[in-house]
Amino acid sequence: MNNLLQILQDRHSFPASRLSNPAPNDEQLDDIIRCAITAPDHCQLRPWRFIKIRGDARHALARVFVDAARLREPQISEQKLQKLSEKPLRSPLIVVIVATLTVDHPKAPEVEQLLSAGAAVQLMQLGATAAGFGSIWLTGENAYDNNVKNALDIDSKDRIVGFLYLGSPPDDKPSRRRPAVSEHVSEWRGD
């Protein structure tokens, strides 16, 4: 098997807390995002964009998460808020992937645009792996919260497809059991 195929087959996520410095620098991140924007994209709508959050801005993101959680759940415990505030600090770099969907497009329904954005995230993960970095795609309630979108200058009509946490992977790579191909493949023979 060639090297690239092996890299693709071996890709796996890391817990965000296991991703450390150095994160991809701006040049390396551009390379990773160049992979993302090869995502299949019906009618070239380019329905995705990428917001990078690194360094101290992660503390600001933590405050956004906490404020949004208080509004979602006024009775939330301080313990839960503390946990939430630590989330963005787990990895040195977070990229928010945003999908802007064109409603009632004559050829590319919204679901296809969303699929394109999902493909973009996965291509980022593959690009990051090939560049020697680790990542994990996370969402959670914050991804669907208009107060979070507002704080990040994202229109409430747009979707946060994911928070991609990025950094250098640990030395001990968890081996993920993948299903056998045969469990997911059938052949239709037309008879």
Q: Which residues bind ligand FMN (CB under 6 A)?
A: 12-13, 136-140, 162, 176
Residue 162 Cβ vs ligand FMN, minimum distance, rounded to whole Å: 6
Task: Count CA atoms closer than 13 A to 51's CA, side-chain side.
Answer: 18
Residue 174 Cβ vs ligand FMN, minimum distance, rounded to whole Å: 8
Most distant CA pair in the chain: distance in Å? 62
Of 28 and 125, nearer to ligand FMN (C-beta) is 125
User: Look-up: residue for tokens 């945003």?
Assistant: 98
- Per-residue tokens: 182: 């045969």
Residue 2 Cβ vs ligand FMN, minimum distance, rounded to whole Å: 22
Nearest by Cα to 135 from 49, 7, 39, 24: 24
Nearest by Cα to 143 from 158, 124, 121, 128: 158
Of 97 and 108, nearer to ligand FMN (C-beta) is 97
Of 25 and 80, nearer to ligand FMN (C-beta) is 80
Of 43 and 50, nearer to ligand FMN (C-beta) is 50
* Spatial contact of 137 and 73, defined as CB atoms under 8 Å apart: no
- Per-residue tokens: 26: 């701006």
The three-class DSSP label of residue 130 is helix
Residue 188 Cβ vs ligand FMN, minimum distance, rounded to whole Å: 27
Of 24 and 134, nearer to ligand FMN (C-beta) is 134
* E-assigned strand segments in the chain: 48-54, 93-99, 134-138, 159-167
Residue 165 Cβ vs ligand FMN, minimum distance, rounded to whole Å: 9
